[in-house]
Chains A and B, each alone.
Chain A
Amino acid sequence: EAAVTQSPRSKVAVTGGKVTLSCHQTNNHDYMYWYRQDTGHGLRLIHYSYVADSTEKGDIPDGYKASRPSQENFSLILELASLSQTAVYFCASTRDNNERLFFGHGTKLSVL
């Protein structure tokens, strides 16, 4: 099965600090996504990318930046972490947007 690896699996960050979440896929997929999951909100799309060196804003991009330096890697950057960004973050990849997404195991981020 397609593999999507996220790192770290969990992180504790301080308010105002910089946080980088990493995602690596070995599926040769063009599309990659970052979602956050909060209780009561389901999965909300932050940023996505369909080609290396290009990213697109999702539904809740404020406070987040994304970077896609290669087809395999997609990072999510919180320049100034805030308490409201405490959540579980999922990365996913797919070959085409009408095909199934393959998700990583998630990164649990706690901002204190």
Chain B
Amino acid sequence: QQKVQQSPESLIVPEGGMASLNCTFSDRNSQYFWWYRQHSGEGPKALMSIFSNGDKKEGRFTAHLNKASLHVSLHIKDSQPSDSALYFCAVSANSGGSNAKLTFGKGTKLSVKS
């Protein structure tokens, strides 16, 4: 069974600072990697995906994937108070049909202090 672990559990960064969130997974066949964000009282919303080794940048957000080391990370540049939320890493090993399981980590709680 896929195991997805996130660190740190919680993180405090100053407004304008850089936040770095980490995620490790156990299944070397994993193919699809997502970051989700959940604000208090709401359902999670997808932030970005990364499917290939290397970096992917979307605005202030950069995801990094290293399949060999079973590691994916999210870096938030110029953090804003509105970025304060619970961040989840989600991993899927297989594609389609009955294999379409998406496993989430326990999340990292990010607080951006102004």
B43 touches A97 (CB 8 A): no
A101 to chain B: which residues have CB within 8 Å? 34, 36, 44, 46, 90, 102
Query: CB within 8 Å of B: which residues of A?
Result: 4, 31, 33, 35, 40-45, 48, 50, 56, 58-59, 90, 92, 96-98, 100-106
Distance (whole angstroms) from the CB of B48 to the closest CB of chain A: 9
List 13 other contacts, CB 8 Å, given A50-B100, A97-B99.
Answer: A33-B102, A41-B106, A42-B6, A42-B104, A45-B101, A92-B43, A97-B92, A97-B102, A98-B95, A100-B34, A103-B43, A103-B44, A105-B42
B43 touches A45 (CB 8 A): no
Query: CB within 8 Å of A: which residues of B?
Result: 1, 6, 31-32, 34, 36, 42-46, 49, 51, 88, 90, 92, 94-107
What would be 15 A-B contacts, judged by CB atoms less than 8 Å apart? A40-B106, A42-B106, A45-B104, A58-B101, A90-B44, A97-B92, A97-B94, A98-B31, A98-B92, A100-B34, A101-B90, A103-B43, A105-B43, A106-B42, A106-B43
